Structure 1
Amino acid sequence: QRPSCNNCIKHSVQCDFLASQNFGGGNGLPHNGVHSSHTSPHGGSVTHYDPLGGSPSRGPSSGLNLLDLELLHNYVTSTAFTIHTDPAMKIAWRINVPQVGFSYDFAMRGILALSALHMAHYKPEKRDFYISQAMIQHQTGLRVATEVLASVTEENCTGVYTFSALTIFFTLASPRKPGDLLLVGENGMADWLFLVKGTSFIVNNYEEFLRQGLLGPMFISGSRQSALRTQYLVEKSPQDDPLVELSGLIAQNSTDERNKHIYLAAIETLRKSFAFYDRPGPPGYETGDIFIWIFEVTEEFLQLLREHTQESLTIFSYFCVVLKRLDSHWWMQGWSTHIISKIWNLLDEEHRLWIRWPLEEIGWLPM
């Protein structure tokens, strides 16, 4: 008798995830396909779903994990369309990303984890169950992906990059803790961010290989968006740059020269995320325009943010403005107001005056 988790017992669903160590290998190596060969840990039966009542029933073992199939079906028919607004990119997330998952079990677990959170979002009556499955899937995939990241090759870089990209959406879609500042935790950089920032090494060393593979459309689209971003930054006048005033305040008031350099560098990187800010309509904001700051912001800045220095918090408040632009996505809803409210509570009266513009743009008023 293998253990089942409480949520599975509560919902009368077999806990195949805790009982199984492999989803197609479990060692992070490529395989010929995800065969989801979870045999039942309870004597040769498999969970089936009653299409009318929505409750599981027992039937002869077929060697299938129907929950995995449900999550994969939801991903390709629904979740994949919510990640990107560009039609070509929607196809890439819907078709190409699952193909990567068929070769790397940890990447497939990232797909299923995000899909489970999506189902928890629009099936509130089963929210706890789907969230628990999402956490199990992602933690299992994260352990393998982190190990593989230490020895990246041409054979596995596509899988690690895919899992890292999915991890961003998974983190944003996960239930928030009251004091969550997204990028930093109690002990330093948020755990998920180690993996995401580690992919910079992959891009720097394997970009040409990635461009020729299943993720090629993503990199081609990213290059086009990057060129537009550069063009718009050149065209933008200082009067239209919301970060000019913040840069001046920090340059004049920050007494620590080393920290001042870190702050100004973070603002310069953040400027890339603001490139499309005052340009309504296509081409408009895409997820990559937001996440570029997450990829490029330095660990030194994140350390200052963890220490809640006043300057780092004010810079972070401006990042909330671009987060707000993606608030229509289910996985981003509420993040901007959640973070700006935490920042407000951490700032002194002087620095609260520095964030009037972000407050107005987000539309959040202190209580």
Structure 2
Amino acid sequence: MSDALPTPSEPADSPEGSDGVARRPSPEEGSARGAENKAIKRRAHRKSRFGCKNCKLRRIKCDERKPECLNCRNRQVRCDYLPSSQAAVTTAAPSPAEAVVAPSLFGALNVEDLELMYHWTTSTSATLSSQTSGAIFWRTQVTELALSHHHILHLILSITASHLARFRPQRRDEYVALADHHYATALPVVTAELSHLHQDNCDPVLLSVQLICTFTWARGPQPGEYLAFGEKGRSDWLVMFRGIRTTLETVGYDNFTRSMAPNIRAHAKPLPNVAGTLAYEEPLAELSDYIQYASKPAQLSQNVYAHQVLLECYSNRYGGVDGEYHIVFAWLFRMHEEFLEALQRHQTVPLVIYAHFAVLMNDMESFWYMKGWTTHVLAGIWNILRDEDRVHIRWPVSVVGWIPP
């Protein structure tokens, strides 16, 4: 038996010399072999422009599997590969190989909605009120009510998605799509509930109507939509806003337990007294004179009432009485139906009065969801009025700082 230890066999790509000793390849051989190895390792990359819309929005690679891609299946969202006839059909269970990549425990999570809920509780809910107590109300009581009434849940997610779209422009399209989806899901339910109001559903219905109004603001100014009137008649926002009054009057304030009604009755800390910062007395006195000589006899009383309530709103805002900026909308809340109908018909005097209300609305532009609405409303009024009537809205135009075209 030989004393020599057995040696491992040499790799196939390590040639031996005649003496059995491995030799180092020449530079020419090494260069050729390196090029050959790189060619083997480099794989062809196929670019595709046929990925599903969800994957394109998220800027991730789509596997283009039919009838739905794996990304959409794992996220439990509707893949646009899926035929419309199968929209309501539950997708097939993933294969064992897929289950290893995406376990069912994580596949059931809707990450987009979890992200929205996180931002609602940590950020967006605090932006709906200027008072700490109001922010706590939206974060706690409203969220708790939303867990039992999913139309509220969809609406707070839609507002949060709009909030993120405003401050994350690189993902704006994705968030706008989420906002529209949640709003479209909630709206039919709220509409149906409005037609069957009772003590058990009045709280969630009232909150949903308020959230719908806020969502309209959050979407930003829309062509032909000027809140109190529309370009072609009644404003969709006004219908919902007046729904707040209808809800309260139909059921009665005392039947609301956890909604905004108790907060309206509560005495909130007044906003800072800013008396003297705006000389509104003389312009509103001139507006009163204008109403007296420009109103038709049948409409004089309702126009005078609109001016009286507007003057009260100015006094409360600049005299340190109001506890929230939103209370200025008490003017529209308290208007008679006849006055609102005149606004929808674009009558001159109501439009001029509404332009003076825009000054109060301008204070609300400290909230992200009101940005741009004041000048948008003034532009809508300016475009409707005749040249000889525009002189009567020069004061609100100058206070807001808008420059007519």
Q: Take 1:17 and 1:195, find their aligned partners in 2: how far apart are those partners?
A: 30
Judging changes above 3 Å, is the alpha-carbon distance between structure 1 residues 252 and 321 closer, same or farther for their aligned structure 2 residues?
same
Q: Take 1:90 and 1:331, find their aligned partners in 2: how far apart are those partners?
A: 15
SS of residue in 2 equivalent to 1:102: helix
Question: Corresponding residue for 1:286?
Answer: 324
Aligned 8 A contact 2:159 2:179 in 1: yes
Q: Take 1:197 and 1:310, find their aligned partners in 2: how far apart are those partners?
A: 22
Aligned 8 A contact 2:351 2:381 in 1: yes
Q: Name which of 396, 399, 404 aligns with 1:358.
A: 396
Q: Does 1:195 align with 2:240?
A: yes
Q: Take 2:135 and 2:268, find their aligned partners in 1: how far apart are those partners?
A: 19
Question: Corresponding residue for 1:306?
Answer: 344
Aligned 8 A contact 2:352 2:392 in 1: yes
Q: Deviations over 1:9-36 (max 9, x none)?
A: 53157486769xxxxxxxxxxxxxxxxx
Question: Corresponding residue for 1:179?
Answer: 224
Question: Corresponding residue for 1:147?
Answer: 192
1:89-100 matches, cutoff 5 A: 89-100=134-145
CA offset at residue 308 of structure 1?
2.0
Question: Corresponding residue for 1:55?
Answer: none
TM-score (norm 2): 0.70
Question: Corresponding residue for 1:36?
Answer: none
What residue identity is the alignment partner of 2:102? G
Question: Corresponding residue for 1:248?
Answer: 289
Q: Take 1:253 and 1:283, find their aligned partners in 2: how far apart are those partners?
A: 32
Q: Does 1:114 align with 2:114?
A: no
1:1-367 matches, cutoff 5 A: 8=54, 10-12=56-58, 14=72, 42-43=91-92, 59-62=102-105, 63-204=108-249, 205-210=251-256, 213-215=257-259, 218-224=260-266, 240=281, 242-254=283-295, 256-279=296-319, 286-367=324-405
Q: Take 1:17 and 1:142, find their aligned partners in 2: how far apart are those partners?
A: 20
What residue identity is the alignment partner of 1:223? R
5+ residue gaps, structure 1: 1-5, 20-38, 46-57, 233-237
SS of residue in 2 equivalent to 1:365: coil
Judging changes above 3 Å, is the alpha-carbon distance between structure 1 residues 170 and 44 closer, same or farther for their aligned structure 2 residues?
farther
Aligned 8 A contact 1:157 1:206 in 2: no
Aligned 8 A contact 1:7 1:128 in 2: no
Percent identity among equivalent residues?
30
Q: Take 2:133 and 2:313, find their aligned partners in 1: how far apart are those partners?
A: 22
Judging changes above 3 Å, is the alpha-carbon distance between structure 1 residues 196 and 181 closer, same or farther for their aligned structure 2 residues?
closer
Question: Corresponding residue for 1:34?
Answer: none
Q: Take 1:82 and 1:239, find their aligned partners in 2: how far apart are those partners?
A: 29
Q: Take 2:285 and 2:77, find their aligned partners in 1: how far apart are those partners?
A: 51
Aligned 8 A contact 1:17 1:137 in 2: no
What residue identity is the alignment partner of 2:398? E
Aligned 8 A contact 1:263 1:312 in 2: yes
What residue identity is the alignment partner of 2:299? N
SS of residue in 2 equivalent to 1:180: coil
Aligned 8 A contact 2:270 2:323 in 1: no
What residue identity is the alignment partner of 1:156? N
Judging changes above 3 Å, is the alpha-carbon distance between structure 1 residues 341 and 81 closer, same or farther for their aligned structure 2 residues?
same
What residue identity is the alignment partner of 2:146? G
What residue identity is the alignment partner of 2:401? G
What residue identity is the alignment partner of 1:268? Q
5+ residue gaps, structure 2: 1-51, 59-70, 80-87, 95-100
Aligned 8 A contact 2:309 2:331 in 1: yes
What residue identity is the alignment partner of 1:82? T
What residue identity is the alignment partner of 1:260? L
What residue identity is the alignment partner of 1:267? H
CA offset at residue 263 of structure 1?
2.3
Q: Take 2:314 and 2:227, find their aligned partners in 1: how far apart are those partners?
A: 19
Q: Deviations over 1:157-210 (max 9, x none)?
A: 111011011112111111322332123335532224323312323323232232
SS of residue in 1 equivalent to 2:121: helix
TM-score (norm 1): 0.77
Find the structure with the greater CA-based Rg.
2
CA offset at residue 319 of structure 1?
1.6
SS of residue in 1 equivalent to 2:142: helix
